[in-house]
Amino acid sequence: MMITVRLRHLRISPRKVRLTTDLIKGLSVKEAESQLKFLAKRSAKPVLKLLNSAVANALKNQSSSRENLYISGVRVDGGPSLKRWRARAMGRAASILKRTSHITLTLGEKDFPAAKVSKKETVKQEEKAAPERKEAKRPLTQIVGKVETKSKILPRKKSFIPKKPHQDESQSKIKFFSRQTFGNAKKIFRRKSI
């Protein structure tokens, strides 16, 4: 069972709306609502309203439970663009496209019914699982065994690094240009940064 709802001509760019809708794809309705409520995007509010509308349609028309619903697909398409103009330099005008978007949201129903499990059954399952975990654990001393340590630590040998030739001399930099090639210009202007 699929429930499809559409929101058309939303005055937000599709690229911005997709940032919101990509977060909720595949989530359950409850998780998607919590994501959208606390999302700091302008498109979150219209998408949340669309999701609530889809859930209301599913509950009334299909008589399905809210826990079984999940978002199976969300598609955001571009709608018509409103064309506006902006004044530019030298008497020109530049066009502004105020984009709109069409959102198609599809809800699906999980195959398994929402089975209510009592608290007693969950406690019994946890008690059964807990002893198995305790038996599997062994002390680390049995697993690792005896740890050997090295008593001698050898000092590092210092390697000989020869001095650079320009460190001893008073002239530390060598001129890499000649007077004929505008040497002063090369000091200031470089086509590529070093």
Q: Which two tokens stand for residue 101?
A: 């978007």
Residue 32 within any structural domain of the chain: yes
Inside any domain, residue 93: yes
pLDDT tens-digit series, residues 40-87: 999 999 999 999 999 999 999 988 889 999 999 999 999 999 999 999
- 146 found inside a domain: no
Q: Which residues face 70 on adjacent strands?
A: 28, 108
- Which tops the pLDDT comparison, 58 or 113? 58
Of the ranges 120-124, 142-146, 177-181, the best mean pLDDT one = 120-124
Backbone Cα Rg of the chain: 35
10: which 2 tokens?
């939303």
Coil/strand/helix, residue 28: strand
% residues pLDDT > 90 (the chain): 53
CATH number at residue 86: 3.90.470.10
The least confident of 28-32, 176-180, 182-186 is 176-180
Confidence of residue 1 (pLDDT cuts 50, 70, 90): confident
pLDDT at position 64 = 86
Would residue 125 count as lying in a domain? no
Q: Tell me, yes or no, whether 192 lies in a domain.
A: no
- Report d(CA 81, CA 18) in Å as an integer: 17
* CA distances from residue 179 to 33, 176, 184, 185, 186 in whole angstroms, order as listed: 73, 10, 8, 10, 11
d(CA 183, CA 176): 9
- On whether residue 55 sits in a domain, the answer given is yes
Domain that holds residue 75: 2-109
Residue 177 lies in a domain: no
Q: What is the pLDDT of residue 31?
A: 96
* Dihedral of the alpha carbons of 158, 160, 165, 167, in degrees to the nearest 10: 20
- The whole-model pTM stands at 0.57
Q: Is the dihedral of CA 48, 49, 51, 56 positive or negative?
A: positive
How many structural domains comprise the chain?
1
* Alpha-carbon span 179 to 187, nearest angstrom: 12
With cut-offs at 50, 70 and 90, classify the pLDDT of residue 39: very high
Residue 43 falls within a domain, yes or no?
yes
CA distances from residue 65 to 48, 68, 69, 110 in whole angstroms, order as listed: 19, 6, 7, 10
